[in-house]
Structure 1
Amino acid sequence: MASSLLRSAHVLGALSSVGPFAIDMYLPALPAIGADLGSSVTAMQSTITAYFLAFGVAQLVYGPWADQAGRRLPLYVGLAIFFLGSVVCTLAGSAEMLLAGRFVQGLGGAAVMVVPRAIIRDLHTGHEATRLMAAIMLVISVSPMLAPLAGAGLIAVADWRAIFAVLSLGALASLVMTRFALRETLPPEARQPVRPRALLAAARMLLGHRSFLGLTLLGGFGMASFFVFIASASFVYTEQFGMSPTGFSLAFAVNAIGFFGASQMAAGLGLRFGAVPVVLAAAAGFAASTVALFALALMGLASLPVVMAGLFVANGFLGLVIPTTMVLALEEHGEHAGLASSLGGTLQMLVGGAMIVLTGPFFDGSVVPMLGAIAVCGVMAFALSRIVVPRQAALA
């Protein structure tokens, strides 16, 4: 990988990891936080949902703003808001205050999801964009390994509030990195003023664009499987399988290894076989593995090793689906890269949040509801791949 591409991957990956760390780092502490604040499992899951919903809706602001003002200013503001939310979470004395802090975190964290995607589109298209996206995924995917372990380590020597204090410091470090290590990639002559009528017209065009919408939702159901796992796994692994916070963090890391290991092959496989065949095959594999794992759970065969192995395989397929669909969805919309990125991210976050809300009433602390919801995500992704991706191939 060229040095400039590698440097971009490091900087953008580090910025993009702020959001995942905010999600994953406090997962081992969720049962302890609930006990300390006197809150239920549902209330703790709602802190995850609040983050996702704010994260999703705020992307609608950052995308157009990044097209108008350039890429760096929205990053500055988003990271400052994320810092404020992290401070609120650190000082939270109730579940409601924690919920509010998580919502504010999500409002700020959206910037470091939208803007890096638009920067990728500024710099590259095609296979180079997929390589850069996959490289960023590598950096991001380390967070599910490091963040829960870091959170478990912190609660071993301090209480859960230390996790959010560290996230506050991370936001400040990201502000410094944005200032000194990230150049502006959108020149003034390429910027587009925010005109509400034109913005609505562009949004209608994107939402009516079959390939954009379908590919976005395909990736969205893949990401939703992550969200369901994130909302449920700490309770399943500690209550049903009797794991410690550190043990849960290590088990959680297995998923990340499967995902980022496969994501690094996405560009090479796309170059060799074509992006469309890769998405079709990976979506089929993802659906088959998640449905098979759910079937094993229904038969009472979902032991901890079986669950870990099955999710490892499923997330390996997902590592091919997500970066490739992200690139394909934006490929035809360079003139609206910021809006397309933000609208796509919003739709994906809303799908993920909706899946958590819809499956919450069925969650009883056991593995079966969690795996059932993940299987639903797999089936939906597979169905969309068969409906939309052949259309993308016809347009290629």
Structure 2
Amino acid sequence: MRIYIFKFVKTFRSFRMDTTKSRSSFLIFILGTLTALGPFSIDMYLPGFPAIAKDLGVRDTEVGLSLSSYFVGIAAGQILYGPLLDRFGRKRPLYIGLAVYILASIGCMLSHSLNSLVILRFVQAVGSCAATVAAVAMVRDIFPVKDNARVFALLMLVVGASPMLAPTIGGYVSAGIGWHYIFAILGGMGILTLIASIWWLPSSYRPDLTLSLKPLPILKNFWLVLREPQFFTYAFTGAIAFAGLFVYVSGSSHVLMQVYHLTDKQFGWIFAFLSVGLIGANQLNNVALRFYTSQQVVPMALLVQSLSGLALLVLALNGWLSLPVLIVLLFIYLSGIGFTNPNAAALSLAPFERNAGSASAMMGALQMGCGALASLVVSLFHSTSAVPMTATMCASGILALVILLIGRRQIAGPVLAGQASGVLH
């Protein structure tokens, strides 16, 4: 009898463990989908730039302003949602943001001028960033600090579907039925994401009703986050390194389709292939973390990013950058970002519990702000070469590495493996 009881208990425990793992995987998938909404909104309409430019009567580089406005909207929106997520919990602000996103997507679909598209893309971004900030904060709420880098890497596996699928889908939609319908698809994605959030996401955080939404207390709260040495070192490092990805996203359609004369469908397939470097590096990061710490991985990844960016610039300046070489070096560059991003994010958020929403918002705002500035720089050039894109990508990697080497000297005892800063609880 005891043997049967023992076997029953063992089987029950095994079932509970399997159920817990399945539930965690499902939650990571939903959080990844939330995080992917913004990138999907960026990547899907890139192949449609020439069609949008022709339809609206502008240059394709000017269409890039709608991409820059999207980045600005995400940066501004994350600052807005951070305090709201800490004050009212994660779900209510998320629902409002997704509703704004859906309405703005419909507006983009109906746009007939560049100005209206630029403005509505800004509004769409403000709505989508609620999903990003909530997802990042919920990772910090639900999972142990020591597992955050691994979870962020798994989120990137879901997010990685964006650069693999979105440009390819966008290229076929733009060529087949018109670029307007790209935004119809994005609106439909927003509706499905909202339904999934309502039905399956847990209430992971008890609202802190003591937090004030007045400007001065909010600014003080952000300052409390920003003054943490570990946060500002890794948040700025990650944001500037990540700006290289935004430069690539903003400039790749012009470089590949205008300089190298690829079609929108060819661009979609190459963009999808290059995303393998970013996604693969994110997943290899889990293996690397078995042998190295996040602090060790970040500088090595930045070195790879800086050297590949420098090679891109030198070859572009001398006219030696053939299409195959460009693709190989971009693959290596994006792989460096794939290692940098999850580790820098985990190290940035590690000191926080009570302020996790504000910290997540500040980190996201820095990322998008740097990305918006870098992509704007590329959009302002009307060059017929790859030099503006490669120069900005090179500067992104080198500057991030310099900031890391200087900033980490100010960190006393990095918060890892479940530790947290007592001041910010």
* Same fold (TM > 0.5): yes
Q: What secondary structure is seen at the aligned counterpart in 1 of 2:202?
A: coil
Task: Tell me, in whole angstroms, the C-alpha distance in 2 between the residues paired with 1:146 and 1:296.
Answer: 30
**Contact 2:74–2:368, Cα closer than 8 Å, also in 1:** yes
Q: What secondary structure is seen at the aligned counterpart in 2 of 1:335?
A: coil
| Cross-structure match for 2:134 | 115
Task: Tell me, in whole angstroms, the C-alpha distance in 2 between the residues paired with 1:140 and 1:365.
Answer: 31
| Cross-structure match for 2:162 | 143
The one-letter amino acid paired with 2:191 is L
| Cross-structure match for 1:59 | 78
| Cross-structure match for 2:31 | 12
| Cross-structure match for 2:400 | 381
The answer to whether residue 195 in structure 2 is matched with residue 183 in structure 1 is no
**Contact 1:222–1:378, Cα closer than 8 Å, also in 2:** yes
TM-fit CA distance, 1:55 = 0.8
RMSD: 1.6
The higher radius of gyration belongs to 2
Q: What secondary structure is seen at the aligned counterpart in 2 of 1:187?
A: coil
Task: State the aligned residue count.
Answer: 395
Query: Please, which of 211, 216, 234 is the counterpart of residue 215 of structure 1?
Result: 234
| Cross-structure match for 1:49 | 68
The answer to whether residue 219 in structure 2 is matched with residue 194 in structure 1 is no
| Cross-structure match for 1:130 | 149
| Cross-structure match for 2:352 | 333
Task: Tell me, in whole angstroms, the C-alpha distance in 2 between the residues paired with 1:395 and 1:90.
Answer: 47
Task: Tell me, in whole angstroms, the C-alpha distance in 1 between the residues paired with 2:231 and 2:155.
Answer: 21
Q: What secondary structure is seen at the aligned counterpart in 1 of 2:369?
A: helix
**Contact 2:251–2:378, Cα closer than 8 Å, also in 1:** no
Task: Tell me, in whole angstroms, the C-alpha distance in 1 between the residues paired with 2:376 and 2:189.
Answer: 29
Q: What secondary structure is seen at the aligned counterpart in 2 of 1:296?
A: helix
Task: Tell me, in whole angstroms, the C-alpha distance in 1 between the residues paired with 2:121 and 2:181.
Answer: 15
TM-fit CA distance, 1:48 = 0.3
The one-letter amino acid paired with 1:244 is T
Q: What secondary structure is seen at the aligned counterpart in 2 of 1:74?
A: helix
Task: Tell me, in whole angstroms, the C-alpha distance in 2 between the residues paired with 1:328 and 1:45.
Answer: 32
The one-letter amino acid paired with 2:404 is S
The answer to whether residue 249 in structure 2 is matched with residue 226 in structure 1 is no
The one-letter amino acid paired with 2:82 is G
Query: Which deviates the most, 62-71 or 125-134?
Result: 125-134
The one-letter amino acid paired with 2:304 is G
Task: Tell me, in whole angstroms, the C-alpha distance in 1 between the residues paired with 2:330 and 2:139.
Answer: 29
TM-fit CA distance, 1:113 = 1.1
The answer to whether residue 367 in structure 2 is matched with residue 367 in structure 1 is no
Q: What secondary structure is seen at the aligned counterpart in 2 of 1:264?
A: helix
Q: What secondary structure is seen at the aligned counterpart in 1 of 2:316?
A: helix
Task: Tell me, in whole angstroms, the C-alpha distance in 2 between the residues paired with 1:151 and 1:319.
Answer: 23
Task: Tell me, in whole angstroms, the C-alpha distance in 2 between the residues paired with 1:289 and 1:363.
Answer: 24
Query: Please, which of 293, 303, 323 is the counterpart of residue 312 of structure 2?
Result: 293
Task: Tell me, in whole angstroms, the C-alpha distance in 1 between the residues paired with 2:145 and 2:273.
Answer: 30
The one-letter amino acid paired with 1:35 is K
Task: Tell me, in whole angstroms, the C-alpha distance in 2 between the residues paired with 1:278 and 1:192.
Answer: 38
| Cross-structure match for 1:344 | 363
Superimposed CA distance per residue, residues 314-360 of structure 1 (whole angstroms, 9 cap, x where no aligned partner) = 11111110010001001001110000110111111111111122343
The answer to whether residue 69 in structure 2 is matched with residue 69 in structure 1 is no
**Contact 1:83–1:168, Cα closer than 8 Å, also in 2:** yes
| Cross-structure match for 1:257 | 276
Q: What secondary structure is seen at the aligned counterpart in 1 of 2:160?
A: helix
TM-fit CA distance, 1:195 = 4.4
CA shift in 2, pair 1:209/1:362, >3 Å: same
Task: Tell me, in whole angstroms, the C-alpha distance in 2 between the residues paired with 1:141 and 1:392.
Answer: 32
Query: Which deviates the most, 277-286 or 2-11?
Result: 2-11
TM, length-normalised to structure 1: 0.96
Superimposed CA distance per residue, residues 136-188 of structure 1 (whole angstroms, 9 cap, x where no aligned partner) = 01100110010001101112320110101111111111111111121111135
TM, length-normalised to structure 2: 0.89
Task: Tell me, in whole angstroms, the C-alpha distance in 1 between the residues paired with 2:409 and 2:163.
Answer: 33
The one-letter amino acid paired with 1:260 is I
CA shift in 2, pair 1:194/1:268, >3 Å: farther
Gaps of 5+ in 1: none
Task: Tell me, in whole angstroms, the C-alpha distance in 1 between the residues paired with 2:293 and 2:412.
Answer: 10
Query: Please, which of 294, 297, 304 is the counterpart of residue 275 of structure 1?
Result: 294
Task: Tell me, in whole angstroms, the C-alpha distance in 2 between the residues paired with 1:119 and 1:385.
Answer: 27
Task: Tell me, in whole angstroms, the C-alpha distance in 2 between the residues paired with 1:314 and 1:40.
Answer: 28
The answer to whether residue 54 in structure 2 is matched with residue 35 in structure 1 is yes
Task: Tell me, in whole angstroms, the C-alpha distance in 1 between the residues paired with 2:81 and 2:163.
Answer: 25
Q: What secondary structure is seen at the aligned counterpart in 2 of 1:300?
A: coil
Q: What secondary structure is seen at the aligned counterpart in 2 of 1:17?
A: helix
Task: Tell me, in whole angstroms, the C-alpha distance in 2 between the residues paired with 1:211 and 1:148.
Answer: 36
The one-letter amino acid paired with 1:289 is S
**Contact 1:276–1:390, Cα closer than 8 Å, also in 2:** no
Task: Tell me, in whole angstroms, the C-alpha distance in 2 between the residues paired with 1:311 and 1:389.
Answer: 28
Query: Which deviates the most, 351-360 or 41-50?
Result: 351-360
Task: Tell me, in whole angstroms, the C-alpha distance in 2 between the residues paired with 1:192 and 1:120.
Answer: 23
Task: Tell me, in whole angstroms, the C-alpha distance in 2 between the residues paired with 1:164 and 1:362.
Answer: 27
Superimposed CA distance per residue, residues 112-148 of structure 1 (whole angstroms, 9 cap, x where no aligned partner) = 1101000000012333111111100110011001000
TM-fit CA distance, 1:206 = 2.0
Query: Please, which of 170, 174, 186 is the counterpart of residue 155 of structure 1?
Result: 174
**Contact 1:114–1:345, Cα closer than 8 Å, also in 2:** yes
TM-fit CA distance, 1:288 = 1.1
CA shift in 2, pair 1:192/1:371, >3 Å: farther
TM-fit CA distance, 1:248 = 0.4
Q: What secondary structure is seen at the aligned counterpart in 1 of 2:112?
A: coil
CA shift in 2, pair 1:392/1:252, >3 Å: farther
Q: What secondary structure is seen at the aligned counterpart in 2 of 1:101?
A: helix
Query: Which deviates the most, 42-51 or 352-361?
Result: 352-361
| Cross-structure match for 2:324 | 305
Task: Tell me, in whole angstroms, the C-alpha distance in 2 between the residues paired with 1:48 and 1:303.
Answer: 27
Gaps of 5+ in 2: 1-17, 416-425
Task: Tell me, in whole angstroms, the C-alpha distance in 2 between the residues paired with 1:248 and 1:390.
Answer: 43
Task: Tell me, in whole angstroms, the C-alpha distance in 2 between the residues paired with 1:267 and 1:383.
Answer: 25
TM-fit CA distance, 1:391 = 4.2
TM-fit CA distance, 1:363 = 4.1
